[in-house]
Copies of this chain bind each other. A is one copy, B any other.
Amino acid sequence: MDDRTRERLARLALAQSRDVGDLWLAQAVAEVGAVELHDHLRSGRRHSGTAAKAAARLAAVDPARDLERGERVGLRWVVPGDDEWPSQLADLVHAEDPNGTGGPPLGLWARGPLRLDALARSVAIVGSRSATTYGCDVAAQVAAECAAEGWTVVSGGAWGIDVAAHRGALAGGGVTVAVLACGADRAYPVVHERIIDRIAEDGLVVSETKPGGAPHKGRFLTRNRLIAGLTRGTVVVEAAIRSGALNSATWTTRLSRPLMGVPGPVTSATSEGVHELVRTGQATLVTSGQDVLEIVGDVGEHTVVPRRAPERPHDRLTATQRRVLEAVPVRSPAVAGSIAQVAGLGLDGTLAALHELRAGGLVATAGHGWLLARQPGEEGAHA
């Protein structure tokens, strides 16, 4: 058996010796190496504490059979050292949550033609399961815009914002990646089986849970760390104050990666969590895929052009015209002499400017006087 195979099998066995996201295991592997740790735990020596529990579970696993079973259902087991291993997961080494889970995964099960290292240019879009139509529409739009620029959209395949983001990325002609809490050969929720299969056609379905593995609560939390760890940044579209989506947000912040939030009506409970992230400075407000890519892209790669309204006739006025315009009343017409006085200009210059402004549609005559013309779509005299 060659070294790569030994490494892959050792990691696959060890991954089942503890729950996914187990920090003890991640640290032990980082310190002594997967093959060494595996052989040590299988050496027949007496172990105590966590090592004893891991050794007991390890005795019952058959990684070669798991590998063969996974391959039979179209999955591959990817580990550090493989060409396609996403190196950005290394940042998880120093990330842990208060439950004591964290660390990089020992390996990832993947289904689909996309290489995992393509996630070097990816962004996570996550949010509430009980999302509003508004939230789903915006998630799909942002995902489509990111996908159209060649970025991979990563989410969790769940109801609401997650699936809207996946669908939006596909609609934008891009690829998308679903990171699941259950085995990568399964679908959760079951009603998403078709969209998850569709994702695997061009993109990837990824999990650190072994094929056939069921979703349970702990696995969702550790899955969220993978979504944060695989991507350049995380966009939260809708999240109530206590939404699970905020758990992905926290992982993103732990990794010092950019966290972004799409605002919504302040009257919507599903936007409250996002507003709180922005208000307290944890997340940057974004309103579009362009805003997102400006933040996660390389410097100068996706710079947002400052928003401008269409040019208006005002924009090309001379200083005199502008000064006369500012002296023209909004409501009750004034005669040219009075406008000249307010403008602090001579009568001739004022009259000339008034006629030029009338030609440009900015002022109008009324009786012997002048007043501002109302501009189509203009906000009025505030401006």
- The answer to whether the Cβ of A185 comes within 8 Å of any Cβ in the partner chain is no
- Contact of A329 with B216 in the complex, beta carbons under 8 Å: yes
Q: How far is the CA of A173 from the CA of B190 in the complex (A)?
A: 53
CB distance from A282 to the nearest CB of B (A): 11
- The answer to whether the Cβ of A327 comes within 8 Å of any Cβ in the partner chain is yes
- Contact of A285 with B291 in the complex, beta carbons under 8 Å: no
- Contact of A18 with B344 in the complex, beta carbons under 8 Å: yes
- Contact of B275 with A263 in the complex, beta carbons under 8 Å: yes
Q: How far is the CA of A121 from the CA of B129 in the complex (A)?
A: 42
Q: Which A123-174 residues have C-beta < 8 A from chain B?
A: 128-130, 134, 137-138, 156, 158-159
- The answer to whether the Cβ of A309 comes within 8 Å of any Cβ in the partner chain is yes
- Contact of A331 with B214 in the complex, beta carbons under 8 Å: yes
| Identical chains in the assembly | 2
CB distance from A26 to the nearest CB of B (A): 15
A309 — which chain B residues lie within 8 A by C-beta?
Answer: 240-242
- The answer to whether the Cβ of A372 comes within 8 Å of any Cβ in the partner chain is yes
- The answer to whether the Cβ of A230 comes within 8 Å of any Cβ in the partner chain is no
A214 — which chain B residues lie within 8 A by C-beta?
Answer: 329-332, 334
CB distance from A350 to the nearest CB of B (A): 13
B128, B217, B275, B288: the one within 8 Å of A325 (CB): B217
CB distance from A19 to the nearest CB of B (A): 7
A5 — which chain B residues lie within 8 A by C-beta?
Answer: none
CB distance from A380 to the nearest CB of B (A): 5
CB distance from A157 to the nearest CB of B (A): 11
Q: How far is the CA of A240 from the CA of B380 in the complex (A)?
A: 12
- Contact of A307 with B244 in the complex, beta carbons under 8 Å: no
- The answer to whether the Cβ of A278 comes within 8 Å of any Cβ in the partner chain is yes
CB distance from A288 to the nearest CB of B (A): 7
- The answer to whether the Cβ of A342 comes within 8 Å of any Cβ in the partner chain is yes
Q: How far is the CA of A244 from the CA of B81 in the complex (A)?
A: 58
A263 — which chain B residues lie within 8 A by C-beta?
Answer: 263-266, 271, 275, 278, 285
Proximity string of chain A (346-383) to chain B, C-beta cutoff 8 Å, 1 when within and 0 when not: 00000000000000000000000000100000011111
Q: Which 4 A-B pairs have the closest CB atoms?
A: A244-B382, A263-B263, A218-B326, A242-B309
Binding site for B on A (CB under 8 A): 18-19, 53, 57, 99, 128-130, 134, 137-138, 156, 158-159, 181, 188, 190, 214-218, 220-221, 224, 240-245, 247, 262-267, 271-272, 275-276, 278-279, 284-288, 291, 307-309, 312, 322, 325-332, 334, 341-342, 344, 372, 379-383
- With A242-B309, A242-B312, A285-B285 known, 11 other A-B pairs at CB within 8 A are A18-B344, A53-B344, A129-B380, A156-B382, A188-B331, A214-B334, A216-B326, A242-B308, A263-B265, A263-B278, A279-B285
